Amino acid sequence: MPQGVQHRIVCVGLDQDVLSALTPLLRARGGEAAVVCPDLGSAQSDAESHAAEAHLFIVQVAPDLDLARVANLTTRFPGQPLLALVAAGTDIPRVLATQRAGASQVVTLPLREDDFLQALDCLILQFPPPPRDAHVLAVCGVSGGAGATTLALELAYEIAHSARSARQNVLLVELARGMGTLATYLDITPNRTTHELVRDSSHLSPAGVRQAISTFAPGLDVLVGPYEEITPGPVSSRNVFQLIELCRKMASVVLLDVPCTLDDLQFETLTLADQVALVGVQSVSSIRTLKMVRETLEREQGIQNQTLVLNRYEPAVPGFSAERIAELLEVPEVFTVAHDLSVVAAQNHAKPLLVAAPHSPVIGDIRRLAARLSGSSSSESVDRSRQVPGKHPGPQPPRLLRVLHIEDDAFQQQVVALRLGAIKEFSVSITPATSEVAAVALFSRQPFDLVLLDYHLEQGNGLGCLRQLRVLDPVVPILVISGVDQPRIAAELLTSGADDFLSKENLGGDQLARSMTAAITRADAFEQRLGVPRQSVRPDTVVDRLRATFSAADLAELMNSLFDLHQISHTGRFGAAQIQLLVDLVCGELDRTPGDVIPRRAILSLFLRLFGPPTGRAVEPGVSFRDGGKEKAD
């Protein structure tokens, strides 16, 4: 089922019987009429008073309606769809005139459910609302049976239910790597699961994700995990991160149900969230794991914005009171969610607790937790986590950014330069490049904090340039700006590693600033995970040499390449993510090289020993890398 309606719905001139038939069909796609206007003039006035929102106009076209007024409305709000309802038997010229006046879809009366929903689904896919920088929450159960997925569902419903007046849409994403439970809980048969999306990168496009989304309730959409396979198989971490970034653009709040696998993918996924809820229960093993995960996230990832939750809490359990557990975990407080069997009953009926058992004591706990997690914006959350208690930070100076702008049109260079200069958060130094070859050469010689890339280049190709830059640096933010706004092109660019796709026609300073801020924030999170500035270590610069020496089985040259790689890492040991990246790059090259190659496990073990944390000696004492490891060090 396509994603639910996220537009503000304005109904115009609808008869009462038409409105009555329309209401349940809108609710089937998670929407409802925000206002019912008697005529087009009042609809235009209402829409102008909500200019910051995207609208869907549903207009009943009476036989005597002046279509010029319809054209005036669609001209006043370009890119905001209009669905026209016409009487049965309306002649073809009148239907065509309605379409030329700006109607995106035409449906005949009386309404037929399949016909109207098909037209509505087309509008949802064709006219997505403008991208939003969603507030991302993560719920992670630290032990089996902690009930984290159920808690995530109840939180998502509560946030969507309490926020409907503010037109917020919540997207719940189940990132289970084994068999998930959300599809069973909600009795949903999706077109695609999250595992199918991240397993096949061809599905990782805005359209592909929207087609996988199911609407569970007004304001609440879900992406469910695998539910038909016990062991679905491994997934690419890059695809998981790309899925999350696509989801950011499709909702006001994205709630991630993250499995506790105690590996890099889990911890790096949690760094993408603005708020993290770690869920445990009243048991010794669960509390120990809760303490370990909390400390790891704080120490290695720098995540301070954590909320610790005890699910199915019973205050009478001796030795496991909330106060005692908070003391053991060395935190000011832990949130508790009461133990209530009505939660299970709600699951059995595929209903949220607020509907199935509105008097359950759990609801009050869910509301307090939802307020804690969603009560502040992402930027406010990050800023507070970095403040020193008792000190009030003053105004922050603009951040210095080195920008590589790849554009062969001098006028467009000036336009973008003006846009960048107007962004108060950044002080920008722009280096222009007019071709693919020049851009790659500049990028290879000096570091940049951001890349702005034009899709159409007279000398070279934007997509080819993007792929070359991604080989050189898999993290640096790259925003593609194009005069061609086609979903297929955008999907291909995002799949190839672009952080965002922006249209030249609608490129405003606010949109550019939001896109830049989101991409740079993500890059900062990865850099923090790496442990050293990413541009001080470029392991990919010797990947070609490593590939050649592995395939040629040239031990001496292999040691020389490893020595060079070791030398450029003098600023600090590689982090786990860097080593994994290097192994992925090398093995990806080796897969395309004929002949026997060194197994991946052996490569990973070698790189961990040479470049991993300094828990022991990296090489044998007294042995140099040079000359195949045979020469003794001085």
Q: What is the pLDDT of residue 601?
A: 65
Q: Is residue 525 part of a domain?
A: no
Tokens 């093995």 belong to residue = 587
Residue 390: what pLDDT?
A: 38
> What's the chain's average pLDDT?
77
* pLDDT tens for each residue of 510-532: 778 888 887 887 777 666 554 44
Neighbours of 549 (CB within 10 A): 19
Give the tokens for residue 194. 């999250």
pLDDT for 405: 92
Nearest to 328 by CA among 320, 337, 318: 320
Among the ranges given (233-237, 416-420, 520-524, 605-609), the one the predictor scored with the smallest mean pLDDT: 605-609
| Helices 237-248/509-530 angle, 10° precision | 150
Cis omega (within 30 of 0) on the bond before 533?
Answer: no
Instruction: Judge whether 475 lies within some domain.
Output: yes
Query: Which residue range is the domain that position 120 belongs to?
Result: 8-126
**Is the pLDDT score of 327 beyond 80?**
yes
Q: What gap in Å lies between CA 507 and CA 481, rounded to an integer?
A: 8
Say whether both 362 and 415 belong to one domain: no
Residue 575 lies in a domain: yes
Q: pLDDT digit string (tens) for 61-117?
A: 999 999 999 998 988 888 889 999 999 999 988 999 999 999 999 999 999 999 999
Element (H, E) at 58: strand 55-61
Position with higher pLDDT, 18 vs 510? 18
8 Å CB contact between 129 and 54: yes
* CB distance 274 to 382 below 8 Å: yes
In this prediction, residues 54-67 reach a mean pLDDT of 92
| 197-216 average pLDDT score | 82
DSSP string, 65-93: --HHHHHHHHHHSTTS-EEEEEETT--HH
Q: What is the pLDDT of residue 257?
A: 93
The C-alpha atoms of residue 364 and residue 358 are separated, in whole angstroms, by: 10
Q: Which of 132, 106, 124 is nearest to 53 (CA)?
A: 132
290-297 LR contacts (CB < 8 Å, sep 24+): 290/142, 290/143, 290/329, 291/328, 291/329, 291/330, 293/140, 293/142, 293/260, 293/262, 294/329, 294/331, 296/267, 297/267, 297/270
Is the domain of 492 the same as that of 579? no
Nearest to 571 by CA among 619, 622, 527: 527
* pLDDT recorded at residue 29: 80
Give yes or no: residues 565 and 596 share one domain.
yes
Q: Give 371's pLDDT tier (boundaries 50, 70, 90).
A: confident
* Cα four-point dihedral sign 314, 315, 320, 325: positive
Q: Which of 181-190, 433-442, 540-549 has the highest mean pLDDT?
A: 433-442
Residue 378 has pLDDT above 50, yes or no: no
532 part of a folded domain: no
DSSP string, 598-627: --HHHHHHHHHHHHS-SSS-SS-TTB-STG
Domain end call among 126, 156, 180 = 126
Measured distance CA(87)–CA(69) in Å, rounded: 18
The answer to whether residues 157 and 179 belong to one domain is yes
Distance CA 593, CA 591 (A): 6
In a domain, 522, yes or no: no
Tell me the CATH number at 478: 3.40.50.2300
Whole-number percent of the chain with pLDDT over 70? 74
Q: Evaluate if residue 11 carries a pLDDT over 90.
A: yes
pLDDT tens for 444-492 read 877 888 999 988 887 877 888 988 888 888 788 999 888 776 777 877 8
Report the alpha-carbon distance of residue 282 to residue 284 in Å, rounded.
Answer: 7
Same domain, 109 and 140: no
Residue 277 pLDDT exceeds 70: yes
Strands (DSSP E) found in 434-582: 450-454, 478-482, 500-503
Q: Give burial (CB, 10 Å; 0-12/13-18/19+) of 606.
A: middle
Q: Which of 511, 546, 580 is the last residue of a domain?
A: 511
pLDDT in tens, 127-140: 876 655 678 999 99
**Confidence at residue 599, expressed as pLDDT on a 0 to 100 scale:** 64
Q: Is the pTM of this model over 0.75?
A: no
Do 293 and 271 belong together in one domain? yes
What are the b/e assignments for 244-278, b being 16+ CB within 10 Å? bbbbbbbbbbbbbbbbbeeebbbbbbbbbbbbbbb
401 belongs to a structural domain: no
- Domain match, 361 and 436 both: no
CB 303 within 8 A of CB 297: yes
CA distance 105 to 82: 7
174 and 306 in one domain? yes
The whole-number pLDDT of residue 19 equals 93
**Do residues 14 and 105 share a domain?**
yes
Query: Which range has the worst mean pLDDT, 65-74, 337-346, 576-585?
Result: 576-585
Given a cut of 60, whether residue 305 has pLDDT beyond it is yes
Measured CA to CA, the distance from residue 162 to residue 370 in angstroms comes to: 10
Closest CA to 213 of 172, 269, 182: 172
**How far apart are alpha carbons 427 and 15 in whole angstroms?**
55
Q: Are residues 145 and 281 in the same domain?
A: yes
The answer to whether 583 and 540 have CB atoms below 8 angstroms apart is no
In a shared domain, residues 142 and 82:
no
Predicted pLDDT at 1? 38
CA-based max dimension of the chain: 97
pLDDT, residue 620, reads 36
Query: For 190-215, what is the mean pLDDT?
Result: 83
Backbone φ and ψ of 312, nearest 5°? 50, 50
Three-class SS state of 281: coil
Q: How many domains does the chain have?
A: 4
Q: What is the DSSP string of 223-272?
A: E----S-SS-----HHHHHHHHHHHHTT-SEEEEEE----SHHHHHHHHT
**DSSP designation for 282:** S
Same domain flag for 262 and 364 = yes
In a domain, 271, yes or no: yes
The DSSP bridge partners found for residue 430 are 403
* Mean of pLDDT values over 375-404: 51
DSSP-derived pairing of the beta strands 33-37 and 8-12: parallel
CA distance 317 to 324: 11
Q: Which pLDDT score, from 0 to 100, does residue 106 have?
A: 94
Give the contacts of 472 (CB within 8 A, at least 6 positions apart).
440, 443, 444, 538, 540, 541
pLDDT band at 632 (very low <50, low <70, confident <90, very high): very low
Residue 375 has, within 13 A of its CA and on its CB side, a CA count of: 10
Residue 518's nearest CA partner among 247, 301, 263, 265 is 247
Q: What is the pLDDT of residue 174?
A: 93
In a domain, 217, yes or no: yes
Tens digit of each residue's pLDDT (9 = 90 or more) over 238-253: 888 888 888 887 788 8
